[in-house]
Structure 1
């Protein structure tokens, strides 16, 4: 049986606009309004999941899909350790060598959190754990988690992570099972799609 995994990136928040690492603030009003407008955009799902960040949980609630979203820790955002909550430009000024290592070495975690390889392995483990009869799975996840899922699904080299972009409130779809996935990415989430 084919599994359909629909990854929705959360709507906008102040932290996203400020390029903060792992900020966990609420959706901004424009983001909440866009998420409400997308209610019903995804048809029937067998399982509705959310990453644990406030932004993901609020987006899931605004989308209103049934059943209610189950929050899974393994769908959490990239653990940025001591950089969490800081802006990229701040860290770039105070720790330029660390940022350079983080951007160039997929095994590096100068911030004390997860390396890119660890993130991709965690998200890949979740994809591998889905049973063949999982049906239609919708998960509201941070952009880094969606990117890691694509990396795993397509067996891309780690360097490709930095070349993937996931815009707010877009749908990335994986269909298949086990280690054989197909990709449909970047579709805007709007009423009537799905």
Structure 2
């Protein structure tokens, strides 16, 4: 039995361009156009799921996907920092920002820690490993990071060292209690089947 999970990061948005914590703004026109153009590069069939953010929902629609929102794939809760620009937070709360970026157990914003999001996404991933078939998941970059950290059994401190470009696919294939990883394929490149 083999499980294949394709994690698709959302298209570009104004918030992403501003380095703003999610503020509920959708994807921009360029992101929508790019997602629509990439729709044909996705594999057919399988279950479709998504993070609960506006930009993931809009990206899924632009890709021609319709799936269910999964609570374990929700974006990282950044508490009172939601909607703020990263530089604003760094200027107003430099010690808190430094702690958050260096201590995976820390959540100075009142939301969840990196360890929390890694555990939550890991639970979902472990449940999926026992399912035969394909899952397409349109998820925020932090969910992709958490999945990679969990799948490869990396220390949670590696979370911030993983870059997830917009509208790319990170693929996990699971078999015999382990995951294999294929990183960051742009969605405008057609998928080819690889060995799991």
TM bucket, shorter chain: over 0.9
Counterparts of 1:24 and 1:106, CA distance in 2: 25
Q: Does 1:99 align with 2:79?
A: no
2:120 alignment counterpart: 122
Counterparts of 1:101 and 1:148, CA distance in 2: 19
What secondary structure is seen at the aligned counterpart in 1 of 2:137? strand
1:4 alignment counterpart: 4
1:20 alignment counterpart: 20
Counterparts of 1:112 and 1:45, CA distance in 2: 39
Correspondences of 1:17-166 after superposition (within 5 Å)? 17-65=17-65, 68-130=66-128, 132-166=130-164
Whether the 8 Å contact between 2:129 and 2:177 is mirrored in structure 1 is: no
What secondary structure is seen at the aligned counterpart in 1 of 2:185? strand
Query: For the structure 1 residues 84 and 179, does the alpha-carbon distance in structure 2 shift closer, same or farther, using more than 3 Å as the test?
Result: farther
Larger deviation, residues 41-50 vs 83-92: 41-50
Larger deviation, residues 1-10 vs 15-24: 15-24
* Number of aligned residues: 192
Whether the 8 Å contact between 1:22 and 1:79 is mirrored in structure 2 is: no
What secondary structure is seen at the aligned counterpart in 2 of 1:44? coil
Whether the 8 Å contact between 1:132 and 1:178 is mirrored in structure 2 is: no
Q: Does 1:168 align with 2:166?
A: yes
Q: CA deviation at 1:23?
A: 2.4
RMSD: 1.3
Counterparts of 1:167 and 1:45, CA distance in 2: 25
Counterparts of 2:127 and 2:176, CA distance in 1: 8
What secondary structure is seen at the aligned counterpart in 2 of 1:148? helix
TM-score (norm 1): 0.95
Runs ≥4 in structure 1, deviation > 2 angstroms?
A: 131-134, 191-194
Whether the 8 Å contact between 2:129 and 2:174 is mirrored in structure 1 is: no
Gaps of 5+ in 1: none
What secondary structure is seen at the aligned counterpart in 2 of 1:38? helix
Query: For the structure 1 residues 41 and 115, does the alpha-carbon distance in structure 2 shift closer, same or farther, using more than 3 Å as the test?
Result: same
Counterparts of 1:78 and 1:127, CA distance in 2: 16
What secondary structure is seen at the aligned counterpart in 2 of 1:127? helix
